[in-house]
Amino acid sequence: MNAPAHLSPYTAEHFINRELSLLQFQRRVLAQAADAATPLLERLRFLCIVSSNLDEFFEIRVSGIREQIRLGHNASSTDGIMPAELLALVSAEVHRILAEQYALLNDDILPALEREGVVFLRRGAWDSEQDAWIHDYFRREVIPVLTPIGLDPAHPFPRVLNKSLNFAVELEGRDAFGRDSGTAIVQAPRVLPRVIRLPDRPGQALYTFVFLSSVLHAHVDELFSGMNVHGCYQFRVTRNSDLFVDEEEVKDLRAQLKGELQQRHFGDAVRLEVADNCSEKMVDFLLQHFRLGRADLYSTPGIVNLVRLMQAPDWVDRPDLKYPPFRPGLPRPLAQHRDIFAVLRAQDVLLHHPFQSFAPVIELLKAAADDPAVVAIKMTVYRTGTDSVLMEHLVRTAQKGKEVTVVLELLARFDEEANISWATRLEEAGAHVVYGVFGYKVHAKLLMLVRREGDRLRRYVHLGTGNYHPRTTCFYTDFGLLTCNERIGEDVAEVFKQITGLGRASTLAHLWQAPFSLQPNVVAAIGRETEIARAGRRGRIIAKVNALLDPETIEALYEASQSGVEIDVIVRGPCALRPGVPGLSENIRVRSIVGRFLEHHRIMYFRADGEEHIYLSSADWMPRNFFRRIEIAFPVLDPRLKRRVLKEGLRFYLLDNTQAWEMQPDGQYCRKTPRRAARAAQNLLLSALALDG
């Protein structure tokens, strides 16, 4: 189901480009690494997050732009920027971000870490004892797993894995067979650690590390005995990683996906990263081989893969250089009562992660296996990880002979292999595993237990804004609602029936569902606030999403603003709406929060003449979520919980003057600075909800 066609009353100048807006988000993340108020090891982690985000940006977004150019598309989106122009703008902005990123690493963060006794040693700084240990390590651990390949007609350029570490070596001389190609490629197997800790010794910093690239550079000549090494250069290639599955040809989605996953590592190249000491001759050779231009070249003054430093804070036992630990709290009803079913029969329960524990959701799944009264369970799974206690409980429930149905999304990007593995295990245990509706990713977060109580069956439901992934619930902000509301339970049962069976979509009592009613209901709710304002009463909208890109929703917000509706939008990532433009959007404010936790919950607030309608959702305000995914938005009906969502999910964020960035009409962001008392939403939530935050 595609977005309904409509004629926009607005021109391209009224919209901001998605890719350029997404790069603005990377700048906000980079600012966390530059902020001296951020603990030092966390600054390093934020720096690595930028690299990880840019990797995916190239794998998916930039590869998409290049595909548009290949197919001859004239415009990339509602903003009207031509694909070739956009690719040039993206390249220029990423080059600027990288320059700032490496300057921050080399001139600020690494020297500050060294002063704290956390040292990443360059080759020229090794003393004789360290050099001897590293040489021995190279011979023991590195040489046995390397396969240097000299390029000649019998040895063509090897296949280079996506984002793998490689070395291009310039050589002079003839080998034992008389060959003198002058070039060799050394691929660093993924089994080798990219960062190596040196043994402790007196007089040396407690945490002393060297990079694998430095180790190999120092001893690369031992791989080519009798030849002269003129240069050894790190390089890394990023490839198109979007999977293609032909809807008309596919007969077994899981089987075809397995085949596609094998090719993901070898898609078309979209970016070449090299160390800045790489010779021009080698740069030209690599660009020609990977069919890339100079704009696709990214030269780095340091290691080419900063993502490998992401785990460094975990290797260093320095709590004073990290965020303070905290214990997630529990809502009072669950803290005071051990029977979760009794609690839910009495009232709905709202969980606010990571400030409150995810344990009640795990407890529900455990009960599915252990409670004899539970007869069936149904669950959607988008991302859950390779090691998941939730999935283990589902397997155990199926093994006990209970009715288990899992809607498992095989096309969850970069989690496909883990999900295929879980699908196999669940089926072997006797569970019903379905892959949703082909062409529509199942992104809704739904869990339903059916329990026999006396002479009736009762549904217990969990609805969430985030994934059933115990690890990400520790650092993603999300809401989860636990309820046994009968009408909501019927709606959830109907959604499962639609996904697993056949039939027309039914009208739901409470849930808004994509691809059917979610976007029309959002636009209609905005329209009602517009009519209220036109009638002279107060119109008010507050929304919190990860992305705001749907043109029709943006146009509805523009119209609401022009009618006098007061609108606040909290957008973590890309936003195509221009706020604060006179005559267009002067009543709209857009802000973004970037802090310790990844902002992930989606919230909609409509004042509705004082009735205050609040919905939580798994969906962002994007065409793909509205029309190409199965999503839900669910209402918060309990007045007490409404007040909590309004306070914790929206007002705290609107009061934030420390980690908040305000969007300007041109798409740039300005960071808020406190004039008096500093207020950070995430810190306020830790204080209010965590046990020792």
Helix axes 551-562, 518-534, angle to 10 degrees: 10
Distance, CA of 421 to CA of 417 (rounded, Å) = 6
3-state DSSP call for residue 324? coil
* Residue 169: exposure state from Cβ atoms within 10 A (0-12, 13-18, ≥19): buried
Cα 63 to chain center, whole Å? 18
**Cβ neighbours, 10 Å, residue 679:** 16
Q: Distance from first CA to last CA of the chain, Å, rounded?
A: 45
Give DSSP secondary structure letters for 530-549. HHHHHTTS--EEEEEES-B-
**Cβ neighbours, 10 Å, residue 657:** 16
Site of tokens 């600020």: 108
Distance, CA of 445 to CA of 463 (rounded, Å) = 6
Site of tokens 């938005």: 633
**Which residue type occupies 107?**
D
Per the CB < 8 A criterion, the answer to whether 445 and 471 are in contact is no
Query: Across-strand partners of 118?
Result: 207
Sheet of strand 228-239: strand arrangement = 149-150, 183-187, 166-172, 228-239, 269-275, 297-300
Helix axes 416-429, 389-399, angle to 10 degrees: 20
Both structure tokens of 402: 């209970």
Distance, CA of 579 to CA of 585 (rounded, Å) = 5
Query: Across-strand partners of 349?
Result: 482
Cα 645 to chain center, whole Å? 23
Distance, CA of 567 to CA of 439 (rounded, Å) = 34
Per the CB < 8 A criterion, the answer to whether 630 and 440 are in contact is yes
Per the CB < 8 A criterion, the answer to whether 262 and 230 are in contact is no
Per the CB < 8 A criterion, the answer to whether 578 and 584 are in contact is yes
Per the CB < 8 A criterion, the answer to whether 619 and 634 are in contact is no
Sign of the torsion angle spanned by Cα atoms 488, 494, 499, 500: positive
Give DSSP secondary structure letters for 95-130. HHHHHHHHHHIIIIIHHHHHHTTEEEE-GGG--HHH
Determine which one of 393, 443, 469, 600 is catalytic. Answer: 443
Distance, CA of 132 to CA of 140 (rounded, Å) = 12
- What phi and psi, each to the nearest 5 degrees, are found at residue 267? -70, 180
443 has catalytic annotation: yes
Distance, CA of 43 to CA of 31 (rounded, Å) = 9
Helix (H) or strand (E) holding 415: none
Per the CB < 8 A criterion, the answer to whether 637 and 553 are in contact is no
**Which residue type occupies 556?**
A
Distance, CA of 397 to CA of 431 (rounded, Å) = 9
Per the CB < 8 A criterion, the answer to whether 406 and 430 are in contact is no
User: Which are the catalytic amino acids?
Assistant: 443
